[in-house]
Amino acid sequence: MQKSKKNRVVLAILFVVPLIFYLFLSAGINNFAKLPVVTKTVVDISNIDSNYTFQKKITIVCFLGDESQSIKGAFFNLNQKIYKPFYGFKDFQIIALYPDGNQEEIATLKGELGAFTDMMRWNFIPTSKEEINIIFDSLKTNISLDKNSFTNYAFIIDKEGSLRGRSDDDDFKDGKLFGYNMISVAELNDKMKDDIKVVLAEYRLALKKNDADREI
């Protein structure tokens, strides 16, 4: 009799504990402050180069323009404050688009960035200005490229190919933050880094929820 009661207790624990864990996890995911989607269905980079895609990747997109050496400080900031903390994640990548014909100048920039950096997740893609505009315009932001196809803003694309940003940022009149100013170390450090952490946490929690679902 005693043994039978113990068996029922053990079975109850084995059933209840996973259920409580699942409910706790679900509540945590539902209450988690996700980073807003500010633009859906950005044109995928695979339309330009089939070796790359935004799908199933957390991507930082930036636009180098024709004169990368004159604004290289912005990319050194991005490399130091964003790339280095996150390049260890296998789903993380940086896509840097630049006008075809500037390969020599970009090779110099890559060499300078790579002097003290593992460049495994930096991807520099040459293409036409027309194709650069197609990708940029699909972001649907309040930011513009200059005549050299450059902007000092970098953008976060999630694994579904949507642009992430902020909808209630105090530094913008309408609260919308579409991209992060690479010239500003403070903005990269205080905003972009935190926002990438949020996106990474979203996918981690979703993965844990799927694992919990399979266990139940």
Per-residue three-class SS string for 81-135: HHHHHHCCCCCEEEEEEEECCCHHHHHHHHHHHCCCCCCCCEEEEEECHHHHHHH
Query: Measured over all CA atoms, what is the biggest interatomic distance in the chain, rounded to whole angstroms?
Result: 84
Q: Is residue 19 domain-shared with residue 97, that is, in the same domain?
A: no
Q: Is residue 16 domain-shared with residue 84, that is, in the same domain?
A: no
Q: How confident is the model at residue 205 (pLDDT cuts 50, 70, 90)?
A: confident
**pLDDT confidence of residue 19:** 42
Instruction: Provide the 3-class DSSP secondary structure of residue 178.
Output: coil
Q: State the residue range of the domain holding 12.
A: 2-31
- The string of pLDDT tens digits covering residues 84-137 is 999 999 999 999 999 999 999 999 999 999 998 999 999 999 999 999 999 999
Q: How confident is the model at residue 28 (pLDDT cuts 50, 70, 90)?
A: very low
Q: Is residue 17 domain-shared with residue 123, that is, in the same domain?
A: no
Q: How far apart are CA 61 and CA 39, in angstroms?
A: 14
Domain-embedded: residue 79: yes
Q: How far apart are CA 74 and CA 206, in angstroms?
A: 33
Q: Is residue 13 domain-shared with residue 76, that is, in the same domain?
A: no
Domain-embedded: residue 88: yes
**pLDDT confidence of residue 206:** 74
**pLDDT confidence of residue 214:** 47
Name the token pair of 147. 């005549």
Q: Is residue 57 domain-shared with residue 147, that is, in the same domain?
A: yes
Q: Is residue 116 domain-shared with residue 11, that is, in the same domain?
A: no
Domain-embedded: residue 206: no
Count of structural domains, the chain: 2
Domain-embedded: residue 209: no
**pLDDT confidence of residue 33:** 74
Bridge partners, 180 (sequence order): 154
Domain-embedded: residue 210: no
